[in-house]
Amino acid sequence: MKSFADKSKISIEYLIVDGFILTLFCYYGILLNLNLADIKGKEYLLFAVIYIGWLISAATTNKFIPVIFPTKRWKAFEFKIKFYVWFILLIVVSMIFVNIQFPGSIYIIKTIIGYTLLSSLVSMIFFVIKKENKTDDVTLTFLKAYELKDHVVPSNGRKHNIKYAINDTEPNESVIKKPLQFEYLEEYVDVFSVLDNILDFKTFDTRKAVIIKYNDPINISLLYADSYQLIVNLHFMNDQNNLNKFLYDTRSALAPGGVFVGMLHHDCYRYSKFLKKYYFLIGNILYCFYFIWKRIFPKLPVTRELYWTFSKGKNRAISLAEGLGRLIYSGFKILDIAALDDIVYLAAVKDKAPIPEKKNFYSLFFKMKRIGKGGKTIYVYKLRTMHPYSEYIQDFVYELNGYGDKGKIKDDFRVASWGKFLRKYWLDELPMLINVLKGDLKLVGVRPLSCSMFNQYPPELQKLRIASKPGLVPPFYYDLPVTFNEILESEKKYLLSYERNPVKTDIKYFFKCWYNIIVRKARSS
């Protein structure tokens, strides 16, 4: 599916409107501010340069080709941003070449800035008019596998139709099913449908089940440890103050193999709600403010305290990846996922002990644990492109979706929308230069892998990998492999060549990689 209209269909209305805006600013910003006697030949020449630069930039970036239904909001504005960057650069270079003197130069700069601001606003309006009222985020595609509409269907989370049975329990017909359906969950028909689809009720004991209808983490901590087979929380995890502590206490109260079921307002539904409730333009503007308050403020050290003071931890923005990651971090194993309308139900089994490490999972700048030379653990610096706690569900997503093209996990819903933009232009990897300076990485080499990913490699290639330092520019861009097996062969080929002649190999790979990146537009994702 293409994201943009056919290149031959140029929006004449958009071109005329944008040209009128440019002419308006040139007239009021330059002509009316300069005396006619001060305007010399080179100023008139610059007018021609402005319009020529405007047309060249528009043609280069497809500015006047209307967007029909881009699948991603970042993608929709990408060419628009490029246009203004190209246009401003062309004008600045032209001013230097023509040698425009003050005060003429200051008026021209103000004119270009004013045009850029108004034109970008008009561009957004044209985008809003053309864009369809829908979202097509990869996370929504993932959730479609778990949707329960008019009837309950098996979830793909388990990849089979077998319901979960509690360990070491003798089957006892309807010990818990009837009390749940007709008493405890009488007013929660949807919740019962989800539970009935996931759990084998015959193996659960009603005396060892808890339905939580309050939102106080202190109460859950009062339950007897290792005593309960099923705990269902009917309050949203988004409203749970100190969510990790609540999950710790819940895990502690569950018996080995016990199940916790929680409810989550998955954040990808928020955007759809704004569009349904408000006119498209107003909905997008309000969602922008919501995104800043809910998604940016809690992650910045300067604004985090302000957010928690006013929000009190209620109605937090939590993605599916974060909800699953918090469960695994707290000592659970994901059993199943289901969705009804805009509510996601997460079922998890008590597993190992909670992960003891403490770190800031929200910071934009963070470090990842990776395997370096000699099998040594190194910490690689990056800009965050995934939702918080995503690192803990890598195995789960891999088992669910497997690998796609270029050795990446297919339909990886852990990557946030801004993360795709950062990855496309390698902005997320700029902090890795710190690792190069520290000596953990070299300029060219195989990418540093997590322990989970490293274990997917054959033993022979594992030995080759830890024999040398990982690198910033991987051999992927030299061979441009497609499948995961091809990537393994590409890395093996590089590592064997590096063993024979390190300097020559890295020089050859460095220049060929950058040729493919710049000229052939090679991308890893």
Domain ranges of the chain: 12-130, 138-266+318-350, 269-306, 365-518
**Predicted local distance difference test score (pLDDT) of residue 36:** 47
Q: Rounded to whole angstroms, how far apart are CA atoms 451 and 462?
A: 11
Query: Angle, nearest 10°, between helix axes 502-518 and 484-500?
Result: 140
Q: How far is CA 220 from the centre of its chain?
A: 33
Helices (H), 28-158: 41-61, 73-98, 104-130, 138-143
Kindly report the length of the chain: 525
> What span, in angstroms and rounded, lies between the C-alpha atoms of 96 and 88?
12
Q: How wide is the angle at C-alpha 121 spanned by C-alphas 115 and 125, nearest 5°?
A: 135
Report how far residue 115's alpha carbon sits from residue 57's, in angstroms, rounded to the nearest whole number. Answer: 14
CA distance readout (Å), 350 to 248, 310, 388, 454: 10, 34, 21, 26
CA distances from 248 to 243, 253, 322, 330 (A): 9, 9, 16, 6
- CA–CA separation, 477 and 467 (whole Å): 21
- List of E strands, 223-331: 228-236, 254-264
Q: How much is the pLDDT for 134?
A: 38
**Integer Rg of the chain from CA:** 28
Residues 29/5, Cβ–Cβ less than 8 Å: no
Q: Are the CB atoms for 389 and 322 separated by under 8 Å?
A: yes
Tens place of pLDDT for every residue, the chain, 525 residues? 233 233 345 567 777 888 888 888 887 777 666 654 455 555 566 677 788 878 877 777 777 765 444 444 555 556 567 778 878 877 777 766 666 554 566 777 778 888 888 887 777 776 665 544 333 333 333 333 333 233 333 344 444 567 888 865 555 544 677 777 667 777 778 888 888 888 888 888 878 888 887 555 556 777 888 889 999 988 888 888 788 888 999 999 999 989 999 998 877 777 777 777 777 778 778 888 888 888 778 877 778 888 888 887 788 888 888 899 999 999 999 988 888 777 889 999 998 877 776 665 677 788 888 999 999 999 999 888 888 888 888 888 877 777 766 567 777 888 887 788 888 777 888 899 999 999 999 999 999 998 888 988 999 999 999 999 999 999 998 988 888 889 999 999 999 999 999 999 999 999 998 888 888 777 665
Q: What is the CATH number of domain 138-266+318-350?
A: 3.40.50
CA 492 distance to own-chain centroid: 30
Residue type, 53: G
Identify the pLDDT of residue 260. Answer: 94
